[in-house]
Structure 1
Amino acid sequence: MAPSAEDVLALVGRAVGPSEWLVVGQDRVDAFARSVDDWHWAHNDVEVASRGPFGGPIGHAHLTLSLVPHLFASLVGFAEGEDAMFYGYNRVRFPTAVPVGSAIRMRADLVDVVDIGGGEQLTVDLTVEIDGVERPACVAQALFRHYPVRAPD
């Protein structure tokens, strides 16, 4: 049974995570470069990047951001007959580059949930961590909209 609007509204203050680790390999970085046509040497030229400021290739900042829906869905599941859709960001920062081959995971804090009539809007503080690195790869505040509807067949 899908939760009521009151159940979803009661999520304020809940912290979830961390997600499982996800390796950001060169194949993923190259696939992202193909999809957005961004072939900067820092991401896709291993030889040149090895002489650059990071000592090797790094994932695109927007690749890290594009993984947020996947990581968030692994933390917050919705029942049959409901769905959540990404609505936008209030703020996004990338304090640390993600070296190719490293693993990332995400933690989320639900800071606000409001009734929007026919659904709820969740404001979520996100932190994407890099395995073995103190500073996060990404900190963001995202907005998701939760609806008590099923995706069409």
Structure 2
Amino acid sequence: MRVFEDLTAFTAAKGEHLGYSEWHQVTQEQVNLFADATGDHQWIHVDAERAAEGPFGQTIAHGFLTLSLLPVLMLEIFEVKGIKMAVNAGLNRARFPKPVPVGAKVRAGAELVEVRGTPAGTLTTLRMSVLPEGEKRGACIADMLLLLVPEDAQ
């Protein structure tokens, strides 16, 4: 994990790759729980028998499940000290270029691509890529907006 002593040090890293998270295995139980939470029970995600005969040869994670892993994976990549809070401010862009097979291990990488001061704090754009183990191409690539509020903010 990369640790930044303060917000100034973090913003100075604009344009840099910040590192990678640990590996996390995507399980069928996780996919099933996500399906229950979202109501998306498409067979390619939850029916192992039918999915084995389908286009991917097995069940795959929902794209939005893969996207939803970004906040927890990001916490393993970097830390900024002196922050009162960090707020997920949304996404500028998200793509799912390839599926994540159930059982695959994934990790995320982060690049700090933009930094902008706002009245509420420092708004950053992080290009996050979720990479399945053994793959060179990301399964999910998203520009995540993260608002960082310093401890001394009102």
**Structures share a fold, TM > 0.5?**
yes
Residue 91 (structure 1) aligned to one of 90, 93, 100:
93
Is the 8 Å Cα contact of residues 14 and 113 (structure 2) preserved in structure 1? yes
Q: How far 1:7 sits from its partner (Å)?
A: 3.3
Q: Tell me which protein shows more strand as a share of its residues.
A: 2
Q: How far 1:133 sits from its partner (Å)?
A: 2.1
| C-alpha distance after superposition, 1:16-57 (max 9, x if no partner) | 121101100101101111111111100000000000000000
Paired residue for 2:129?
127
Q: How far 1:4 sits from its partner (Å)?
A: 5.2
| C-alpha distance after superposition, 1:37-78 (max 9, x if no partner) | 111100000000000000000000000000011111111223
Q: How far 1:149 sits from its partner (Å)?
A: 4.3
- Taking a change above 3 Å as real, the CA distance of residues 119 and 7 of structure 1, as seen in their structure-2 partners, is farther
Q: How far 1:15 sits from its partner (Å)?
A: 1.3
- Taking a change above 3 Å as real, the CA distance of residues 109 and 12 of structure 1, as seen in their structure-2 partners, is same
Paired residue for 1:104?
106
The percentage of counterpart residues that share the same residue type is 38
CA distance in 2, matches of 1:17, 1:121: 20
Q: How far 1:101 sits from its partner (Å)?
A: 0.1
- Taking a change above 3 Å as real, the CA distance of residues 117 and 11 of structure 1, as seen in their structure-2 partners, is farther
Q: Tell me which moved more, 45-54 or 126-135.
A: 126-135
CA distance in 2, matches of 1:81, 1:123: 17
Is the 8 Å Cα contact of residues 16 and 108 (structure 1) preserved in structure 2? yes
Paired residue for 1:148?
150
Amino acid at match of 1:123: T
Question: TM-score under structure 2 normalisation?
Answer: 0.89
CA distance in 2, matches of 1:116, 1:99: 40
Is the 8 Å Cα contact of residues 121 and 145 (structure 1) preserved in structure 2? yes
Paired residue for 1:49?
51
Is the 8 Å Cα contact of residues 59 and 100 (structure 1) preserved in structure 2? yes
Is the 8 Å Cα contact of residues 5 and 82 (structure 2) preserved in structure 1? no
The runs of at least 4 consecutive aligned structure 1 residues that moved more than 3 Å come to 2-8
Where structure 1 has 5 or more consecutive residues not aligned to the other structure, the ranges are none
Paired residue for 1:138?
140
Question: TM-score under structure 1 normalisation?
Answer: 0.89
Where structure 2 has 5 or more consecutive residues not aligned to the other structure, the ranges are none
Question: For this pair of structures, how many residues does the alignment match?
Answer: 149
